[in-house]
């Protein structure tokens, strides 16, 4: 693929001119510098940009609140009581859930959903109680898994099995996962890995890991925070037991917005004691929910794990973003552009800055999303270079101890921005 790239700004402009998704940039507010010039915003892996239609979607619900108050739960266009159902079908498309959309629900936050899933799916015994995760997992996942092990009476130092890259490598190889499962699979109750690793940008082979782990009797869950809205996912077909994700990164729903949850349909009708859960009234049978009677009867599917009625204003923001994804044609065309956009960034970095920049993210497009994790080879220079990027109108992010994460997002980033970013990075490095 790199053979199709050429140096020079004119080539980048030509790529943008031929991009069938270029129009989508106009769907978003792009931050501007004090000069009025648009920033180069490569931080959608932390917080996606604001869709222009979001304000209208949220204002519509505010207007209903003012006009109808409590009656808006049942009256008007898109009543609040079933509002979350509006998100089910497009969210199911984005993560590859079943066509019925019963495998997905938008609720809570990612970590809260992770705890709810582990309450049901992490059922440790003395012989099988360990949890497989990657070394340098996102802290919230790490804390959640450690606390679950302690909650069940196990020492996290022994219960948490951490996958580490081989000596001299940044990414975890497929063979590394297979080796650990072959060696320790009989003691592992739960495999909990990311779809895309937040620090290195590595994408895991979800299908292969799920198959290998199931063969060893393990339950398999995934944190898709950096994969939902970034990769083409097939959670149902890959037979994943459960998955959780946030919506404020690639799904552009706003800071702290409601998360998503997937439960494979083979688990959707299972009930206690076969599959215990921490229950709440919004997960109760819809037909009898308002009878206010004791005795929990879960809704079939992922909805049965809901606890409380959802925040409508947040759901309205998610709905606005999902509508943009659907207008783009779903993840397939976005992923096609993403592979080329990130590939162009990688090509420029290797062509022009190979001696100064190390790329931690795998080179194989199938093993990464849109993010590249960069390390400045000059010792101790990374933070200074990052600050120079920011001062020059680039928004990316810094992760300790020494990584600059850069994520050109296909919904709203341009090839010309990638070219300009590399120019600015070269200037920042030359000032060292």
pLDDT band at 379 (very low <50, low <70, confident <90, very high): confident
CATH 3.40.640.10 in the chain is located at: 62-326
CATH 3.90.1150.10 in the chain is located at: 2-30+330-430
Predicted pLDDT at 380 = 85
- 2-30+330-430 sits in which CATH class? alpha beta
Peptide bond into 384 cis (omega under 30): no
Predicted pLDDT at 273 = 76
Each residue's pLDDT tens digit, 352-372: 999 999 999 999 999 999 999
- Model confidence at 222: pLDDT above 90: yes
Predicted pLDDT at 89 = 98
Average the pLDDT over 380-403 and give the result.
96
pTM of the prediction? 0.96
Predicted pLDDT at 353 = 97
The C-alpha torsion from 63 through 69 and 75 to 79, rounded to 10°, is 70
Q: Which region, left, alpha or beta, applies to residue 301 given φ > 0 means left and ψ of -120 to 50 means alpha?
A: left
pLDDT band at 1 (very low <50, low <70, confident <90, very high): very low
- Model confidence at 301: pLDDT above 50: yes
Predicted pLDDT at 2 = 47
Q: Is 401 exposed, middle or buried (0-12, 13-18, 19+ CB in 10 A)?
A: exposed
| Candidates 2.40.50.100, 3.40.640.10, 3.40.50.880, 3.20.20.70; CATH matching 62-326 | 3.40.640.10
The two beta strands, 160-163 and 130-134, are parallel
Average the pLDDT over 205-223 and give the result.
98
């Amino acid at each position: 693929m790199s053979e199709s790239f050429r140096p020079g700004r004119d080539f980048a402009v030509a790529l943008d001119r031929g991009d069938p998704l270029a129009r989508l940039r106009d769907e978003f507010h792009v931050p501007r510098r004090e000069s009025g010039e648009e920033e180069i915003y490569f931080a959608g892996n932390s917080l996606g940009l604001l869709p222009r239609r979001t304000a209208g979607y949220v204002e519509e619900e505010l207007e209903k609140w003012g006009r109808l108050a409590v009656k808006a739960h049942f009256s008007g266009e898109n009543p609040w009581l079933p509002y979350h159902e509006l998100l089910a079908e497009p969210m199911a498309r984005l993560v590859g859930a079943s066509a019925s959309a019963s495998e997905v629900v938008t609720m809570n936050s990612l970590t809260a959903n992770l705890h709810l899933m582990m309450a049901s799916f992490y059922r440790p015994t003395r012989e099988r109680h360990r949890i497989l995760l990657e070394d340098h997992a996102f802290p919230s996942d790490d804390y959640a898994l450690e606390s679950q092990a302690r909650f069940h009476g196990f020492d996290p130092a022994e219960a948490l099995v951490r996958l580490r890259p081989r000596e001299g490598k940044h990414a975890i190889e497929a063979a590394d996962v297979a080796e650990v499962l072959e060696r320790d699979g009989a003691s592992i109750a739960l495999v909990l890995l990311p779809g895309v690793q937040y620090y290195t940008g590595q994408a895991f082979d979800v299908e292969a890991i799920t198959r290998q782990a199931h063969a060893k009797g393990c339950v398999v869950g995934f944190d898709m925070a950096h994969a939902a809205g970034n990769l083409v996912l097939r959670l149902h077909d890959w037979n994943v037991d459960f998955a959780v994700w946030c919506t404020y990164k690639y799904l552009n729903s706003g800071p702290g917005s409601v998360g998503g949850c997937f439960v494979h349909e083979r688990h959707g009708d299972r009930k206690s004691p076969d599959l215990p859960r921490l229950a709440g009234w919004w997960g109760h049978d819809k037909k009898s929910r308002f009878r206010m009677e004791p005795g929990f009867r879960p809704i079939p599917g992922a909805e049965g794990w809901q606890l409380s009625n959802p925040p409508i204003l947040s759901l309205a923001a998610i709905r606005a973003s999902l509508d943009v994804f659907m207008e783009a044609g779903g993840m397939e065309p976005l992923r096609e552009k993403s592979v080329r956009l990130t590939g162009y960034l990688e090509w420029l970095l290797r062509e022009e800055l190979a001696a100064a920049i190390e790329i931690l993210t795998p080179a194989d497009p199938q093993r990464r999303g849109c993010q590249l994790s960069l390390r400045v080879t000059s010792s101790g220079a990374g933070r200074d270079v990052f600050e120079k990027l920011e001062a020059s109108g680039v928004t990316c992010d810094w992760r300790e101890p020494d990584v600059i994460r850069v994520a050109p997002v296909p919904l709203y980033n341009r090839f010309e921005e990638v070219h300009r970013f590399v120019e600015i990075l070269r200037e920042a490095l030359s000032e060292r």
